[in-house]
Amino acid sequence: MRLISLILKVTFLFLLSPLVLYCVRGDGFINENIKPAETSTMKKAPMHWTDIINPRLQASYEKHEKEKQERIQFSNDIRKYATLNKKQFDMVAMVHKFNLKGPHFDSTKFDDYTKWMRIYEKEISIAMNNYDAAAYVFFFEEFARLSVQRAGVIDPNCKIKDCECVTYKN
């Protein structure tokens, strides 16, 4: 039994040896009819890591990074030009959110103000697309001013003694 086991082990090792598994031309594993490609038609290996970058993807990435930097600069410029404070902005947001109407609401001027507000909205959109912070701030603040006037919250020529608009002027 030990002898048979020993013979099987030796035979198994002999069959798996590198000499037995070695392939040469003509043994059926390597086809001699297929010739290696000529060196002139072969593509040379990249010499530098930048040679493997797809130019279209690189251009797309550069465009994305440029737009990202423009958006950051646009935000910084808005902070630089803006004069609207948080209290005023919150009041405008509440006027639009709840469609508020103040004590000086005039329905005859409402449509005229709304027409100008639509124009300002389009100008704001154009300024955002062009990353023009000065124009954006100007039209946004005019839009906010018209929103307050349209709602009748503030009247600069108010003659009412105990009117609420006096507290909103600041």
Task: Provide the pLDDT confidence category of residue 29 given band limits of 50, 70 and 90.
Answer: low
Q: Contact at 8 Å (CB) between 81 and 134?
A: yes
Q: What are the domain boundaries of the chain? A: 57-168
User: pLDDT digit string (tens) for 77-119?
Assistant: 999 999 988 988 998 898 888 888 877 788 888 888 989 999 9
pLDDT at 23 over 60: no
pTM of the model: 0.59
pLDDT higher for 40 or 63?
63
At residue 121 the predicted structure's pLDDT band, cuts being 50, 70 and 90, is: very high
CB 52 within 8 A of CB 46: yes
**pLDDT tens-digit readout, 129-170:** 999 999 999 999 999 999 988 888 776 567 676 676 666 554
pLDDT reported for residue 142? 94
Could you tell me the two tokens for 20? Answer: 């037995």
Task: Kindly report which listed range (25-34, 64-73, 141-150) carries the lowest average pLDDT score.
Answer: 25-34
The amino acid at 55: P
- DSSP letter for each residue of 16-49: TSHHHH---TTSSSS-SSSPPPPTTTSPPPPSSG
Distance between CA 144 and CA 122 in Å, rounded?
14
Instruction: Return the structure tokens found at 129.
Output: 């697309």
Q: How would you class 92 by CB atoms within 10 Å of its CB: exposed for 0-12, middle for 13-18, buried for 19 or more? A: buried
How much is the pLDDT for 36?
54
